[in-house]
């Protein structure tokens, strides 16, 4: 969302105009009477090029000027001092097609001097103005460095982002009209830019198919040094202002699938609708996998071959491909760049068509032909929910034993989600659901401890204790989390409570011994800290 700044020293006009009524605009005596309503709700902004018809008269009705008589509309740039202040302030309140009469006091017109011979000194003027149209001119960097005038409106509402690859056409001229650069089609990444800084700044404000005229000041052109002639490009003198005609032909959306930017997706062809596969979905794809040198190591679903089918989140393909497919729509074609951590890692890997060397970045061109989503919990009946939760729990157990704690944690979370809302369950089903919730939250807490996410481990154990206040495992694991979070008093409370319930529990006893050592170590550190502080205070006082 953009910030809408009100320029300093100006008042925002929020008045409602009604046909036949007159109202004051601002606080300097400018008055407006609406004759005919305009279209829509938009009004021109400072910097826009407006086109009007007008008739100007003195208060006694004497006409001194009229564009209508000349049958030639008048154009000017709003808010740039090209007309009297009353016009700049009044016309920015008008809508397209609107007709209004402005009564303008001398201080907002020609003042004490007037405009001889037609306008006497200190004259109040009336203008009958019709706003025919305007061309939007935006100060896109808010510093006067790049003004953008739209020549052809674009499609839809999206704009390219920094990682995206744009295809543009442009022509750059000096102020005297000399052509210094031209391209009938060049592709570049927005973040990296092309030709001069203004192009990447401008394309981020444009829509597909939009064509604009940019007025580019030196700070967004070639600055104090200018640019020497090179190849087909002409020289740009120092401190030159450029006029650049720019068309955004199209762009390819590039997104970061993982937060660490090690799986990148570039959309080559947009997909349909808004649905995407979920975890556990069965997907059918066409894919080609290549190494950095272009060597293909896998090809599936092409040349009338059967489509490649796999279930997401089941480690049936490399992690980067798995994650990327979850972001795709049906019919989408994308190019994936996958770092070794999300591909084949540090080991050599024999694939269908070639060997993947250790530590290789790989590339997949993928088309998501179709997918069948795994049923969400709200699509299941009670028995199906219990069965799904049990299945997810067992899958989590297998992953935990294999040391895949993050993936196991997700399985336990899914299991609990299946049975989270049990208001429609019968008594026996509620008991089964409670047993599953306790087991899954306890197992998930064990995952979180392994992953060093101690806050989350503590929360999961607390959920179990809300259901079963005497659950020894929950007390024991919460104590472990508290110890890592340095909440030793809370850890001791949980361990003592666990030993009251199960005095012979070997694991809890060992943890109590560890806790006591931690408390002793903590006390030693505190004693040393306060001892040093007292010594310093004593030295200061002596």
Catalytic residues: 54, 64-65, 84, 110, 127
The Cα-based distances of 392 to 24, 65, 400, 412, 417 in angstroms read 69, 82, 12, 6, 10
Give the dihedral sign, CA 466/469/472/475. Answer: positive
Place of tokens 């060997």: 355
Cis before residue 117, ω within 30 degrees of 0?
Answer: yes
DSSP structure string for 159-204:
---TT-EEEEEEEEEETT--EEEEEEEEEEETTT-BSBHHHHHHHT
How far apart, in whole angstroms, are the C-alpha atoms of residue 148 and residue 140?
Answer: 7
- Which residues are paired to 65 by β-bridges? 56
Structure tokens at 201: 């700044």
DSSP-based three-state secondary structure for 52: strand
Structure tokens at 24: 């004051």
- Which residues are paired to 96 by β-bridges? 39
What is the torsion angle, in degrees rounded to the nearest 10, for the CA atoms of residue 434, residue 438, residue 441 and residue 446?
A: -160
Structure tokens at 9: 């020293």
Detail the DSSP E strand segments found in 223-361: 242-252, 254-256, 263-269, 282-290, 296-300, 308-311, 333-338, 349-350, 355-356
How far apart, in whole angstroms, are the C-alpha atoms of residue 508 and residue 494?
Answer: 10
Three-class secondary structure assignment of 347-404: CCEECCCCEECCCCCEEEEEEEEEEECCCCHHHCCHHHHHHHHHHHHHHHHHHHHCCC
Yes or no: say if 241 and 215 are a contact pair by the CB < 8 Å rule: yes
Closest by CA position to 324, among listed 273, 268, 378 = 268
How far apart, in whole angstroms, are the C-alpha atoms of residue 51 and residue 98?
Answer: 12
Is 521 exposed, middle or buried (CB count within 10 Å of its CB: 0-12, 13-18, 19+)?
Answer: exposed
């Amino acid at each position: 969302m953009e910030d809408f700044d009100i320029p300093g020293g100006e008042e925002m006009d929020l008045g409602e105009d009604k046909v036949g009524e007159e109202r004051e605009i601002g606080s300097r005596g400018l008055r407006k009477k609406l004759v005919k309503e305009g279209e829509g709700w938009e009004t021109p902004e400072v910097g826009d090029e407006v086109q009007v018809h007008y008739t100007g008269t003195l208060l006694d009705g004497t006409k001194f000027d009229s564009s209508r008589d000349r049958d030639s509309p008048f154009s000017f740039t709003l808010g740039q001092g090209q007309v009297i202040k009353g016009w700049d302030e009044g016309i920015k309140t008008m809508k397209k097609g609107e007709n209004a009469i402005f009564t303008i006091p001398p201080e907002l017109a020609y003042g004490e001097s007037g405009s001889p011979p037609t306008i006497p000194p200190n004259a109040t003027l009336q203008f009958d103005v019709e706003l025919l149209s305007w061309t939007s001119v935006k100060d896109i960097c808010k510093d006067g460095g790049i003004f953008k005038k739209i020549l052809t409106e674009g499609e839809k509402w999206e704009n390219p982002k920094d990682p995206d690859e744009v295809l543009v056409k442009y022509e750059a001229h000096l102020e005297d009209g000399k052509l210094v650069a031209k391209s009938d089609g060049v592709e570049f990444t927005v973040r990296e830019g092309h030709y001069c800084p203004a192009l990447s700044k401008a394309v981020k404000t444009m829509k597909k198919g939009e064509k604009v005229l940019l007025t580019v000041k030196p700070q967004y052109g070639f600055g104090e040094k200018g640019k020497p002639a090179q190849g087909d490009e002409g020289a740009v003198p120092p401190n030159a202002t450029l006029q650049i005609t720019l068309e955004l032909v199209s762009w390819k959306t590039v997104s970061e699938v993982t937060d660490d930017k090690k799986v990148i997706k570039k959309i080559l062809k947009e997909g349909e609708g808004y649905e995407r596969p979920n975890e556990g979905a069965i997907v059918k794809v066409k894919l080609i996998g290549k190494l950095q040198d272009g060597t293909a190591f896998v090809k599936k679903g092409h040349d009338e071959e059967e489509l490649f089918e796999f279930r997401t989140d089941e480690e049936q393909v490399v992690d980067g491909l798995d994650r990327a497919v979850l972001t795709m729509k049906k019919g989408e074609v994308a190019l994936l760049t996958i770092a070794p951590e999300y591909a084949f890692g540090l080991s050599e890997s024999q694939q269908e068509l070639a060997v993947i060397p250790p530590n290789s970045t790989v590339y997949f061109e993928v088309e998501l032909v179709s997918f069948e989503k795994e049923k969400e919990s709200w699509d299941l009946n009670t028995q199906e929910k219990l069965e799904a939760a049990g299945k997810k729990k067992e899958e989590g157990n297998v992953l935990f034993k294999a040391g895949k704690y993050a993936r196991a944690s997700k399985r336990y979370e899914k299991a609990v989600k299946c049975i989270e809302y049990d208001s429609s369950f019968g008594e026996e089903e509620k008991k089964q659901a409670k047993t599953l919730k306790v087991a899954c939250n306890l197992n998930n807490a064990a995952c979180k401890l392994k992953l060093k996410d101690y806050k989350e481990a503590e929360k999961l154990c607390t959920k179990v204790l809300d259901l079963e206040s005497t659950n020894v495992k929950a007390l024991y694991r919460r104590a472990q989390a508290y110890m890592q979070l340095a909440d030793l008093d809370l850890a001791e409370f949980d361990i003592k409570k666990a030993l009251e319930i199960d005095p012979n529990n070997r694991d809890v006893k060992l943890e109590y011994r560890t806790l006591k050592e931690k408390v002793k170590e903590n006390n030693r550190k505190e004693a040393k800290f306060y001892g040093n502080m007292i010594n310093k205070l004593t030295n200061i006082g002596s």
